[in-house]
Amino acid sequence: MEFFSFDLGGLFVTVVLAPIAWMIKNGIQRGARAREAELDELARANEKRAVEAQERLTAASEREREIAELHEAFAIHESLTRAEVYEAMNLAEMRPASREFLVQLHRRATHRYEQFDDRWPLPSDVQELVRAAVADVARRIPAESAEAQVLFEQKVEQKTLAGDRRTFLVEGRVLSKHHTLHALAVRFARDRGIHTVVDFTREWGAIVTRVIGTSLAPSVFTGKKLLTDPTRGTDSYLKRYAARDLKTLKDLGALELDGGRYMLAWESGVTPSPADIGRALHLPLIEEFASDPKWGVSDVPRGERD
């Protein structure tokens, strides 16, 4: 009898209680999975809201930056186009005070422009307004503005390649105007067996002189500022451009002259540096080489430019 009772109790546990326990356990697990799914969904929703909020903040920040940069660009342009500036430009040759006024104005304007962040392009039409105004002042004081004008125009090209956006295909590489000239100069020296600064200055200078003639007066080929050594230079150059130029030498090769490794300078030996040097000097030199098929230089079609 006792055996029968024990067996019946076991049967009761197996048949009745076990399924109930399983259902309770399964219900708990389902509830846990449901809560976990809810928590995951909530986490995803929170993450999405956080991303959207960050995107709104970024968009607002970029809009504020665009407005601030536009405001500063127009302020620079306004400072260069006031009536007293035009009066000083007309009198610069006769009145030392007017000339000094333009020198200081040009220094302030180019320094202000150099503070722009390269990551954020200005609209090309605004860029052109500022570039043209700076260049107009620089033409009246070519000797005094030369160094600041070079830094300004390098900044223009670095920031947006605005004004003239032409790039060129040289030996399979799409290059800016300055880098195109450097690549051509390296090949020019190699093909002619040039190994000294003196020889390069003479032979490159003959081409530059022929190309520009007297069109850039008072700027002429002097051989000064023909080569750049990226390991030397002013503090401003070393801070802003030395690392970039060292990379250029690594990528495009160097002018190896008298045991040194050089880059063709921005001015290509023409001093004082002409305003709007990209159009006035770089393009005519590139077009001179491009006219001879052996150099393999071609203009990159507009739709394929960076």
Q: If you average pLDDT over residues 118-122, what whole number do you get?
A: 72
- Tell me: pLDDT of 233 over 60: yes
User: Does residue 184 contact residue 262 with C-beta atoms inside 8 Å?
Assistant: no
**Residue 173: helix, strand or coil by DSSP?**
strand
User: Does residue 262 contact residue 255 with C-beta atoms inside 8 Å?
Assistant: yes
Q: How confident is the model at residue 162 (pLDDT cuts 50, 70, 90)?
A: very low
The predicted pLDDT at position 285 comes to 96
Please state, as a whole number, how many other Cβ atoms lie within 10 Å of the Cβ of residue 280: 17
Compare 285 and 120 and report the one with higher pLDDT.
285
Which amino acid is located at 279 in the chain? R
User: Does residue 181 contact residue 139 with C-beta atoms inside 8 Å?
Assistant: no
pTM: 0.60
**pLDDT tens per residue, range 65-74:** 778 888 999 9
In the predicted model, what is the mean pLDDT of the chain? 83
- Tell me: pLDDT of 164 over 50: no
Q: How far apart are CA 107 and CA 148, in angstroms?
A: 7
**pLDDT tens per residue, range 179-194:** 999 999 999 999 999 9
Q: How confident is the model at residue 35 (pLDDT cuts 50, 70, 90)?
A: confident
The predicted pLDDT at position 228 comes to 92
CA dihedral of residues 12, 13, 18, 19 (deg, nearest 10): 10
**pLDDT tens per residue, range 247-284:** 999 999 999 999 999 999 989 999 888 877 888 899 99
List Cα–Cα distances, 304 to 121, 165, 169, 233, 298, in angstroms. 19, 12, 11, 35, 12
**pLDDT tens per residue, range 87-105:** 999 999 999 999 999 999 9
List Cα–Cα distances, 188 to 207, 269, 281, in angstroms. 11, 15, 18
Q: How far apart are CA 306 and CA 301, in angstroms?
A: 10
- Tell me: pLDDT of 112 over 80: yes
Q: How confident is the model at residue 163 (pLDDT cuts 50, 70, 90)?
A: very low
Q: How far apart are CA 96 and CA 31, in angstroms?
A: 88
Helix 96-114 to helix 18-80 angle (10° resolution) is: 170
The predicted pLDDT at position 81 comes to 95
Q: How confident is the model at residue 302 (pLDDT cuts 50, 70, 90)?
A: low
